[in-house]
Amino acid sequence: MINRSSGADFILMGFSDHPQLERILFVAVLISYLLTLVGNTAIILVSCVDSVLHTPMYYFLTNLSFVDICFSTSIVPQLLWNLHGPSKTITPIGCAIQLYVSLALGSTECVLLAVMAFDRYAAVCRPLHYNRVMHSRLCQLLAGVAWLSGVGNTVIQGTITLRLPRCGNHKIYHFICEVPAMIKLACTDIHANEVQLFVASLVLLLLPLALILVSYGHIAQAVMRIRSTQTWHKALGTCGSHLLVVNLFYGTITTVYIQPNSSYAHSQGKFITLLYTVVTPTLNPLIYTMRNKDVKGALKRLVGKRKHLGE
C-alpha cells in the first residue's frame, strides 16, 4: 500500500516548534490517556455486568467507550514517545497502521454518535414504543453500520493517501499520520485529493451531524408541546450527556476537517486535533458517569459487590 518513495522513516514534527511545552504535554497526555483507559473500561465493565444497563443506550455507550480506548491507543503511545525524547520518527508501516486505524475509529465515532442521537429520539419521542423500535437486532444493525462506515472510509481514503508519490518528502508537520497532513507530502497536484477529502468529510461529518440536529429538533418540539418543567429536566437527563459529547467531538473535529487545507499545518490545527484525539476520549466517561444516575448506581453496586467478596 505504501508508496515506494517512502523507504525512510517519517518524521513527526509534532510540537517541536514549541519545545518548552513538550514536557508539560507529555505529563498531560499521559494522565489523560490513563484516565481514558480507566474510565472507558469501567463503563464497558459495568454495562456488561449490571443487568440494569442492558439497554440500547448502554449498548451504544459500550461501543463508544471501546472506540475511544482504541482511538486513543492508536495515537497516544507514539505521541508520548515523540514528546519524551529527541526522536520524532515513525516507520512507514507504523505510519500506515496509525493512519488506517485512527481514521477508521474516528469515522466510526462520527456515525455512532448519530446512532445514539436516534436512540435518544426514540426514548423521548416514542417512549411507549421504545422497546419495540429499538430492539436488539436493530441496535446490532446500527452499530454494524457505524463500524462498516468507518472501515470503508479508511480503506478508500487511507489507500489513496498512501499511494501518492512523495519524492522523498518525509517530514509530517503534525503529531499523527492523518490524511490532511499526509497529502501535503505529495509532489504532485493534490487538488483531486483535497476534493475527495472534503466530500468524505461532508458524508461522514456533516451528514451525521445533520441527523443529530434533526433528532434533537424533534426532541425539542416534543418537550415544548408538554411545557412541563419536570419534562424538561427528564429530557435533559436523558439527552444532556450525549449532547455534551457531541459538542466536544464535533466542535473540534469539524474545525480541522471542514476548513481550507492551506491552513491545516498551522499550530492551531495540531492543538485542536489534540482535543478530539486525546482530551475528548478522557472526558466522555466522566460526562456519562457524572450526569447519569444509572451508571453511578451500577458503579456503586459493582464496588459494593467487590467489598462484600473481600470480606
Whether residue 180 is contained in a domain is answered as yes
| Count of the separate structural domains present in the chain | 1
CATH code where residue 165 lies: 1.20.1070.10
Q: Tell me what pLDDT residue 100 has.
A: 96
pTM score, whole prediction: 0.87
Whether residue 111 is contained in a domain is answered as yes
Whether residue 195 is contained in a domain is answered as yes
**Nearest Cα residue to 15 out of 155, 173, 139, 166:** 173
Dump pLDDT digits (tens) for 277-286. 999 999 988 8
- The Cα 135–Cα 228 span in angstroms is 29
* Residues with pLDDT less than 70, the chain: 1-7, 227-232, 234-235, 237-238, 259-268, 290-294, 296, 299, 302-311
Amino acid identity of residue 189, one-letter, is D
Whether residue 213 is contained in a domain is answered as yes
Name beta bridge partners: 171. Answer: 11
The number of C-alpha atoms within 13 Å of 287 and in the hemisphere containing its C-beta is 22
Sign of the Cα torsion 173, 178, 181, 185 reads: positive
Whether residue 3 is contained in a domain is answered as no
Burial (0-12, 13-18, 19+ Cβ within 10 Å), 254: middle
Residues contacting 160, CB < 8 A, separation 6+:
193, 196
Burial (0-12, 13-18, 19+ Cβ within 10 Å), 271: middle
Host domain of residue 22: 10-300
Whether residue 306 is contained in a domain is answered as no
The DSSP code for 2 is: -
Whether residue 309 is contained in a domain is answered as no
Dump pLDDT digits (tens) for 231-262. 667 667 668 888 888 988 998 888 877 764 54
Amino acid identity of residue 161, one-letter, is T
Whether residue 308 is contained in a domain is answered as no
